[in-house]
Amino acid sequence: MVQSIYKILYLHLFLLMLPCAFFAQTNDQECRNVLPFCSDISQELTFANTISQESLGEIGCLNTTPNPAWYFMRIDRSGELTFDIVQWVDADEDGFFDRGERQLDVDFIAWGPFETSYVDCDILSKECDNNNNGDGRPSECENNADDPLYYIENQDNSNIVDCSYSRNSIETLTIPNAVVGEYYIVLITNFADESGVIQLQQTNMDELEAGTTDCNILEPGLGDDIAICEDRAVVLQGRFDNAVSYQWFTFSQAANSFVTIAGETAPVYTAPGSGTYRMEGYDSTGATVGTDDIEVVNVSAAVSRVGYTIAEESFAGTYTITAIPEVVVGDIEDIEYKIDNGIYQASPVFENVFPGEHQITARHSAGCSEVLSEVIIIMGYPKYFTPNGDGFHDTWSLINIEDQPLAKIYIFDRYGKLLKQLRPGGPGWDGTYNGNPMPSSDYWFRVEFNEPRDPNQRRRVVAGNFSLIR
């Protein structure tokens, strides 16, 4: 798969990536020659650089832009993204920077976010406006090597995301607070005017709050179906190799077929809401070179309810809870979960849950359709208590025993002497015996109760120990 992507990219690179004379175009011209880029754990793609192309002149912090190469990326998971940009002479053509291979000077500028990569070139800022007074100049744009926070804090007051002209052979691009579905455009230069390759490697993928890029954009077509949290307009974008024109269609339930959407002939279309859409691409002869369908699904009511199972019996210490959602729209794989005030995760399984009261929330991964489970009551016991009158842990009692009115609870000292019998739901043990404070030590309990995990409510006896700390 990766090899086939390489072949496609290298075969069409010089056909597709002719330098876009961005800032010489009129307002009705779009930037159509940028190439898709992504970086994930499974693949780090390299792209041939550009040579023998004229500079576009001064853009942002770059005094000159020789041999411009253009890329776009789409955000797959929200968060911050940090990339190393490397350019080198790939002598053995293996796509990896090896010892002994010579690096080439590389500079860059990046813009965003956008709803699509198919943008009017004039909206890509050439200037920075530090005073936000409408009188910006390229000379106001900072080099991120000199001021790393300048673009992160948006002091430039423009849609420039980052910019650097360091003499280092490795540049660092940072996109803070990226949101899923956003597009970013990157211009990379080749100051040496030597043939080589470019690689953008995301360096923060292992960090908890890191965002990711969507590698589906490397494949021709429209990509995966799209989930929306309300029936609203959504921007669709695709591409086909060798396509020079496009046409969009929508599926008509009345006609039971696709019908042409008049005037929609760009590789991007703003769909009015949920439905099934088709994009066709044509070459210079008018022959069809690709057809792809995409479904836009309203998932605002994807989950109807959330059940659960608990693997262990009562008083096991820690527990494994598995959420069981009822999904009305979409697949189980589209659902994410959290327990109490935790963070969402793809797995419905929560391990090492402590006794107490808990609730699971399930929602569609698009971020909507939140549904709560019923309150999950797990019985247990505290490992210690401190009867010092400060209002915290002053008494000891079982956790969530209130719904067991027939339970019997006994407390013993280390020698087996009965010190107290507790009432389910009562005030608990205050650490005294016949009105006298008991010393700091370990004490034992035994509880007889009906197992709530058993449909027959069988009678069980559980014993354990806890500490009294003064």
Share above pLDDT 70 across residues of the chain, in percent, rounded to a whole number: 92
Name the 3-class secondary structure at 73: strand
Q: How many residues does the chain have?
A: 470
Within 8 A by CB and 6+ apart from 381, the residues are 315, 355, 396, 398, 399, 445, 464, 466
Q: Do residues 250 and 275 touch, judged by C-beta distance below 8 A?
A: yes
Indicate whether 29 pLDDT > 50: no
**What is the CATH architecture of 303-378?**
Sandwich (2.60)
Mean pLDDT is lowest, of 34-43, 312-321, 371-380, 453-462, for 34-43
Per-residue pLDDT at 195 exceeds 70 = yes
Question: What average pLDDT does range 386-402 have in this prediction?
Answer: 94
pLDDT score at 460: 96
Q: Is the pLDDT of residue 40 over 90?
A: no
Residue 265 confidence (pLDDT) above 90? yes
Per DSSP, 6 falls in state H
Report d(CA 107, CA 170) in Å as an integer. Answer: 9
pLDDT computed for residue 246 by the predictor? 96
Residue 22: is its pLDDT beyond 90? no
pLDDT one-digit tens code per residue, 100-139: 888 888 999 999 999 998 888 889 999 999 999 988 999 9
Helix (H) or strand (E) holding 3: helix 2-16
Q: Can you give the pLDDT at residue 18?
A: 32
pLDDT tens per residue across span 69-98:
889 999 988 999 999 998 999 888 888 888
Quick check: 212 and 76 in contact, CB under 8 A?
A: yes
Quick one: pLDDT at residue 59?
A: 93
Give 212's strand partners. 77
CATH superfamily of 226-298: Immunoglobulins (2.60.40.10)
Nearest to 424 by CA among 444, 445, 408: 408
Q: What is the pLDDT of residue 49?
A: 85
Q: What is the pLDDT of residues 138-185, one digit of tens each?
A: 999 999 989 999 999 999 999 999 999 986 678 999 999 999 889 999
Query: CATH 2.60.40.10: which residues of the chain?
Result: 226-298, 303-378
Q: State the pLDDT at residue 35.
A: 82
Helix, coil or strand: residue 346: coil
Task: Give the span between the Cα atoms of 375 and 101, in whole angstroms.
Answer: 61
Cα–Cα dist 117/72, whole Å: 6
| CATH class of the domain defined by 384-468 | mainly beta
Q: What pLDDT is stored for residue 241 in this prediction?
A: 87
As a whole number, mean pLDDT of residues 15-30 equals: 36
**Confidence band for 42, pLDDT divided at 50, 70 and 90:** low
Q: Which of 213-227, 249-263, 345-359 shows the lowest mean pLDDT across its residues?
A: 213-227
Q: What is the pLDDT of residues 425-462, one digit of tens each?
A: 999 999 999 999 999 999 999 999 999 999 999 999 99
- Enumerate residues 6+ apart whose C-beta is below 8 A from 467: 383, 384, 385, 440, 441, 442, 443
pLDDT at 44: 62
Contact 210, 231 (CB under 8 A): no
The CATH number of the structural domain formed by 2-218 is 2.60.120.380
The mean per-residue pLDDT over the stretch 359-385 comes to: 95
What pLDDT is attached to residue 191? 87
CB neighbour class for 470 (10 Å; exposed up to 12, middle 13-18, buried from 19): exposed
- Beta-strand relationship, 441-450 and 408-412: antiparallel
State the residue for tokens 């077929």.
257
